[in-house]
Amino acid sequence: MQDALLRLQQEADTDLAAISNADQLESFRVKYFGRKGPFTQLMRQLGAAPKEDRPKLGKMANELKLALQGRFDEKKVDLVGSLAAAGPQLDLSLPGRQVPQGKLHPVTQIMEEICAIFEGLGFSVAEGPDIETDFYNFEALNIPAHHPARDMHDTFYVDDSTLLRTHTSPMQARVMETAEPPLKVIAPGKVYRCDSDITHTPMFHQVEGFLVDKNVSFADLKGVLRVFIAKMFDESTAIRFRPSYFPFTEPSAEVDIACVMCGGKGCRVCKKTGWLEILGAGMIDPEVFKKVNYDPEVYSGFAFGLGVERIAMLKYGINDIRLYYENDLRFLRQF
Ligand code: PHE
């Protein structure tokens, strides 16, 4: 019986070494550890052995079985590991998983479109700080302390002389202070006003534009804006200049386009007027030139400031400005 046990061990080891897949692993288990396996049979034969040999033989058979079980378990772990490392079973007919694609925010897209149009007309781009001094935001633009025009701005103050810029117009003074005419500049960026409803957010974007040279007239302003609106909206979009007031331009105008919803017939969006305001503009006031040491007798220029969200709303037919800033992907994915 001792011989039989030794032979069994050799045979089992050879079989174990040959295992290379899960099926073979299972057949091995059934063959050696099953109810009809060699160990069960050996145990039955134990009764036929001499009485004094039985404990020794029984112990031997048990140890052999346990050791084999241990080697079998190791083999199993190895095999499962190498099968997993080889990767899962692939179904090449499954459709691929879509990687979600990010895009530029609609306001950024419109901003870039606006800048590209003016760059095409020869304007260069200047950027300035969001946290601005009272001087550039107001004083340099002919809005002294206590000027009633300050009321229009709902300013966020940082301290007595520092604020979040309420418009991009301070860039007029910043650029003119450091450069000589002729100048053709746009200044895109964020601006801030303490105001919030369906057409106002506390932060929004403007693009400022200004041109300074000799003999610049209101006709030049009109020509540039005409081209811009034709490119931004439609060649046939009607425009009108409406007299207005800004302390830093004289004369000043607000520019309207024919309502993009009703084409000028009058609807809810244009409040039955047929017109939509899209920007403020005018001829740069001589007082602004004096502040930056330009001679108003020699130079003239125009400036305009347009609201980017406003233009994006009109272009895309959006009626609530706050949608831009709620980060709802169902909204953002449409652009
Ligand atoms: N800065 C003005 C505003 O925010 C717009 C403007 C810019 C008007 C330039 C005239 C010239 O309302």
pLDDT tens-digit readout, 262-298:
888 988 878 899 999 999 999 999 999 999 999 999 9
Q: Is 92 helix (H, G, I), strand (E, B) or coil?
A: coil
Residues above pLDDT 90, as percent of the chain: 57
pLDDT score of 328 = 93
pLDDT score of 90 = 78
For the segment 32-50, what is each residue's pLDDT rounded down to a tens digit?
A: 888 888 888 878 888 888 8
Pocket of ligand 1 (CB under 6 A): 167, 169, 208, 246, 249, 280-282, 303-305
Query: Do the beta carbons of residue 163 and residue 137 sit within 8 Å?
Result: yes
CA–CA dist 43, 211 (Å, integer): 106
CA 73 / ligand 1 centre spacing (Å): 80
* This model's pTM is above 0.75: no
Mean pLDDT by runs of 10 across the 335 residues of the chain is 84 86 84 84 81 84 86 83 74 86 93 98 98 97 90 89 97 97 98 90 97 98 97 94 97 94 86 92 98 97 96 89 92 90
pLDDT score of 84 = 73
3-state SS of the chain: helix, strand, coil percent to 5?
45, 20, 35
- Beta-bridged to residue 319, according to DSSP, are none
Best residue for ligand 1 mutational test, from 246, 278, 287, 289 (most atoms within 8 Å of Cβ): 246
Query: Do the beta carbons of residue 302 and residue 186 sit within 8 Å?
Result: no
Closest CA to ligand 1's atom 9:
304
pLDDT score of 72 = 84
Going 75 to 80 to 84 to 90, the CA torsion angle's sign is positive
For the segment 2-31, what is each residue's pLDDT rounded down to a tens digit?
A: 888 888 888 888 888 888 888 888 888 888
Query: Do the beta carbons of residue 325 and residue 198 sit within 8 Å?
Result: no
pLDDT score of 182 = 97
Best residue for ligand 1 mutational test, from 167, 172, 185, 191 (most atoms within 8 Å of Cβ): 167
pLDDT score of 69 = 87
CA–CA dist 249, 284 (Å, integer): 4
pLDDT score of 152 = 76
Helix 218-232 / helix 106-120 crossing angle, nearest 10 deg: 130
